[in-house]
Amino acid sequence: MSREIIVLGGGSWGTAASKVLVENGHSVTLWFRDDSKAKNVQKTRLNQHYLPDVVLPEKMVISSCIDSNLPSADMVVLAVPTQKIRELLNKFKNFIQPHTILVNLSKGLEKDSLLRISQVCDEILPNNKYVVLSGPSHAEEVALKMPTTVVAASLDEEASKTTQDIFMNDYFRVYTNSDVTGVEIGGALKNVIALAAGISDGLGFGDNTKAALINRGIFEISRLAEKMGADKLTFMGLSGIGDLIVTCTSMHSRNRRAGILIGKGYTREEAAEAVGMVVEGILTTHAAYHLAKKMAVEMPIVNELYAILFLGEKAADTVEKLMKRDKKDELND
């Protein structure tokens, strides 16, 4: 059955997700904040800045004006940077009806409140069902129909299964999960570890170092999430170790690319500017550091990355600090 869907955010993932949904037979409007960009993409059928080699389906509507469309939408997909979601929801909250399912694609924590996106949505639109779609899913590959597998997590089983049905096809497989906290924390903090993995690359370290960061990184992430009520098994899944591996190893990852530059001596601002897209892991590191302090959870990698990004410490010095930590038991560190 065809659904009416509005995707908020004309970046790479919003564009790729819209393409999936159109190809699945749904009526899709992709919203751009900037009217001139919307008109250009609508005319050329190309999103030159994000997915320049992907021709967008003619049936995909591109628009910067959706107020009249929102009340009838079956689903609204949030595909904007984490720090913009509250502003966007407040902008459109009077047009989004209670029957509309909210599906979040963003991966991060709100910097000042330390909230997950589900919590932000619950504050602003408490009557809407919420789903987070996460996993190892580079937009560049999804847009080219490369086999991809993700998870749709919701506290409402019907909403997660509906999202599964709407998004799933022969190249985009969707599993369901009820652990919203675990899926959101895994998706957000993998960007932090990917920054660290990039810094390792920028410093000239090899596979041993990256494997250690991935392994100890998932341990840190799951330890924080379990303290918040998540299921530890979630971190063996797509939004946990699956997403972490792809983000730490692929050059599609803007977080890894930014980390490489920081490892070579760039500041966080210089690295983000060079990448040319939002690097979610930078502000998520800030939030994760303070959230770990609040929850009294030890996160050595997060602590040292915070020191590099926000306290001006040299990356090489923080590596030495991590390696010279007190002796620990592996499962109790």
Instruction: Give the tens place of pLDDT for each residue, 62-100.
Output: 999 999 999 999 999 999 999 999 999 999 999 999 999
332 vs 176, residue with greater confidence: 176
Tell me the C-alpha distance between 80 and 277, whole Å.
12
pLDDT of 147 reads 98
Whether 244 and 316 map to the same domain: the answer is yes
Whether 141 and 205 map to the same domain: the answer is no
Whether 171 and 274 map to the same domain: the answer is no
Tell me the C-alpha distance between 185 and 113, whole Å.
15
Tell me the C-alpha distance between 176 and 237, whole Å.
11
Whether 205 and 319 map to the same domain: the answer is yes
Whether 31 and 152 map to the same domain: the answer is yes
Q: Contact 174/132 with Cβ under 8 angstroms?
A: no
pTM here is 0.95
Whether 215 and 308 map to the same domain: the answer is yes
Whether 162 and 185 map to the same domain: the answer is no
Among 178, 196, 222, which residue terminates a domain?
178
pLDDT (tens digit, 9 = 90+) per residue, 40-71? 999 999 999 999 999 999 999 999 999 999 99
Of residues 160, 155, 140, 299, the one with CA closest to residue 216: 299
pLDDT of 331 reads 82
Residues whose CB is less than 8 angstroms from the CB of residue 189 and which lie 6 or more positions away in sequence, other chains included: 217, 220, 221, 224, 284, 288, 302
Whether 110 and 248 map to the same domain: the answer is no
Number of domains composing the chain? 2
Of residues 205, 235, 224, 222, the one with CA closest to residue 323: 205
Beta bridge mates, 297: none
pLDDT averaged over every residue in the chain: 96
Whether 152 and 261 map to the same domain: the answer is no
- Which CATH number goes with the domain that contains 253? 1.10.1040.10
pLDDT of 299 reads 96
Among 178, 204, 235, which residue terminates a domain?
178
Tell me the C-alpha distance between 248 and 256, whole Å.
6
Residue count of the chain? 333
pLDDT of 188 reads 97
Whether 45 and 89 map to the same domain: the answer is yes
pLDDT (tens digit, 9 = 90+) per residue, 235-261? 999 999 999 999 999 999 999 999 999
Among 162, 178, 194, which residue terminates a domain?
178
Tell me the C-alpha distance between 246 and 330, whole Å.
24
Quick one: what percent of the chain has pLDDT higher than 70?
100
Per annotation, catalytic residue among 19, 107, 190, 210? 190
pLDDT (tens digit, 9 = 90+) per residue, 184-206? 999 999 999 999 999 999 999 99
pLDDT of 139 reads 96
Q: Taking the CA atoms of the chain, what radius of gyration do you get in angstroms?
A: 19
pLDDT beyond 80 at 333: no
pLDDT (tens digit, 9 = 90+) per residue, 118-161? 999 999 999 999 999 999 999 999 999 999 999 999 999 999 99
| Domain range enclosing 231 | 181-332
Tokens of 310: 């926000």
Confidence of residue 332 (pLDDT cuts 50, 70, 90): confident
Q: Contact 29/67 with Cβ under 8 angstroms?
A: no
Whether 200 and 249 map to the same domain: the answer is yes
**Eight-class DSSP state of 264:** T
Whether 254 and 123 map to the same domain: the answer is no
pLDDT of 210 reads 95
Whether residue 232 lies in the annotated active site: no
